[in-house]
Amino acid sequence: MLVTGGAKRIGAAIARAFGAAGWHVVIHYGRSLDQARAVAAELPSAEIIACDLDDDADCRRMVRDLAESLPDWRVLVNCAGVFDLDTADAIDPAIFARAMQVNAAAPARLSQDFLRLAQSAGGKRVIHVTDQKLLNPNPDFFSYTMSKHALASTIPMLAMAAANAADRVYGIAPGAILASHDQTEAETEISHRMNLLARKTLADDIADAALFLSEGWLASGETVFVDSGQHLLAQPRDVLFLARQ
């Protein structure tokens, strides 16, 4: 399996969970070489691979190389992303362009090439990490939210287009998981409990969901929300700012 952004944060949790479950894990990194090496060193079977998700040609090169070297490449988890602040009343063109490329265009391209080139006797699995903002939007992180909506739209389309009936395309929509942007740990403790269960959702919860989806039990095209019910609340701003009020 390949997890993009596997050197840090949720991606690293996913890498560790698959490694502990006996998978050979390919850890993608952009600029976090040392962290990628450290995560790989923890796992029984792992390798690291560099790719600039801003570069379409580099994305295609990574999938092509892995499809040639891995005889049974079953899972692609698109976890890498950027999370920069702009708002509904002042979009930042540079933030928008990068968010759409890294958060939407790159994982879509990786998924298309993976489904076309990778070899797996038991069917392939694409898993996009999206966001609970799909059902609980607010005006903050405007470009980021648009990019996650764009990524989510590819899930049913890729599922419908899959040539192999054994292939599956899924989404995982997390809530607030780890400290983000400029949050302090104290703010994180408050903001990450702003959900129906008043509990923190953990990175390991996302990793467990990815492992479950890797088995392909659900119909292709489904998204699982792993957010302690946050998507069922109407929140007028990002919880990062609500915690400061």
The token pair that represents 175 in the structure block: 């809530």
Q: Report the CATH number that the domain containing residue 120 is assigned in CATH.
A: 3.40.50.720
Spatial CA neighbour of 150 closest among 132, 167, 135, 130:
130
Compute the distance between CA of residue 12 and CA of residue 34 in angstroms, rounded to an integer. Answer: 13
Per-residue pLDDT 10s for the chain (245 aa) are 999 999 999 999 999 999 999 999 999 999 999 999 999 999 999 999 999 999 999 999 999 999 999 999 999 999 999 999 999 999 999 999 999 999 999 999 999 999 999 999 889 999 999 999 999 999 999 999 999 999 999 999 999 999 899 999 999 999 998 887 778 888 888 989 999 999 999 999 999 999 999 999 999 999 999 999 999 999 999 998 988 87
Q: Please give the residue range of the domain that contains residue 115.
A: 2-242
Q: Give the count of domains, the chain.
A: 1
CA 200 from chain centre, in angstroms, equals 19
Cα–Cα distances in Å, from 140 out to 39, 183, 208? 32, 15, 29
Residue 81 φ/ψ region, left for φ over 0, alpha for ψ in the -120 to 50 degree band, beta for the rest: beta
